[in-house]
Amino acid sequence: MLAVLFEMDGRLWGADALLIETVIPAVRLRPVQGAPDWIAGAFNYKGMAVPAADLSAIVCSRPSERVFSTRYMLVKMSAGGREGLVALVAERVTGVAEIDDAEIGPSAGNSFAGGVFSAGGRIAQIVEIDRLARSEAAAEILGLFYP
């Protein structure tokens, strides 16, 4: 598996690159009235409004830091009969790593935290984007932005 590497809550994480449409630099977000706290805002991407979900708030229960290396991972989500593009805010994106699936160990993390692996001499954990893309959180964000 090719994984996009980033940090959340002082730990290294990886997301399956096959599930990510593209990674773009962070842009200024417009606030969204009435949205849950984990929705960081929305921005214009190729002529359409795209919601940005704070991955750190969803997975680690704390808002992400806005640093120079913050990026948006654009993913397709599908839930509740709706489908759309959502940006996942990822702080401190450091690069990519090739990970042998056999080297990914089990994990007892939350519902979006998957197995653990080693990258560059550090222990990292998988963020299960496929589970997130079909979750209640996905249904909520898609309901707000893709009626």
Q: Render pLDDT for 30-66 as a digit per residue (tens, 0 to 9).
A: 999 988 999 999 999 999 999 999 999 988 889 988 8
The four Cα atoms 101, 132, 46, 68 give a dihedral, to 10 degrees, of: -70
> Is residue 80 over pLDDT 80?
no
pTM here?
0.90
So what's the pLDDT on residue 27?
93
Spatial separation of the C-alpha atoms in residues 42 and 38, rounded to whole Å: 12
Read off the pLDDT band of 15 (50, 70, 90).
very high
> Is residue 9 over pLDDT 70?
yes
Other residues' Cβ atoms within 10 Å of the Cβ of residue 22: 12
> Is residue 26 over pLDDT 90?
yes
So what's the pLDDT on residue 86?
96
> Is residue 110 over pLDDT 60?
no
Would residue 19 be called left, alpha or beta, if left means φ above 0 and alpha means ψ between -120 and 50 degrees?
A: alpha
Query: With 0-12 CB in 10 A as exposed, 13-18 as middle and 19+ as buried, what is 36?
Result: middle
So what's the pLDDT on residue 132?
87
Spatial separation of the C-alpha atoms in residues 19 and 23, rounded to whole Å: 11
pLDDT tens digit string along 112-140?
A: 888 889 888 899 989 988 888 888 888 88
So what's the pLDDT on residue 100?
86
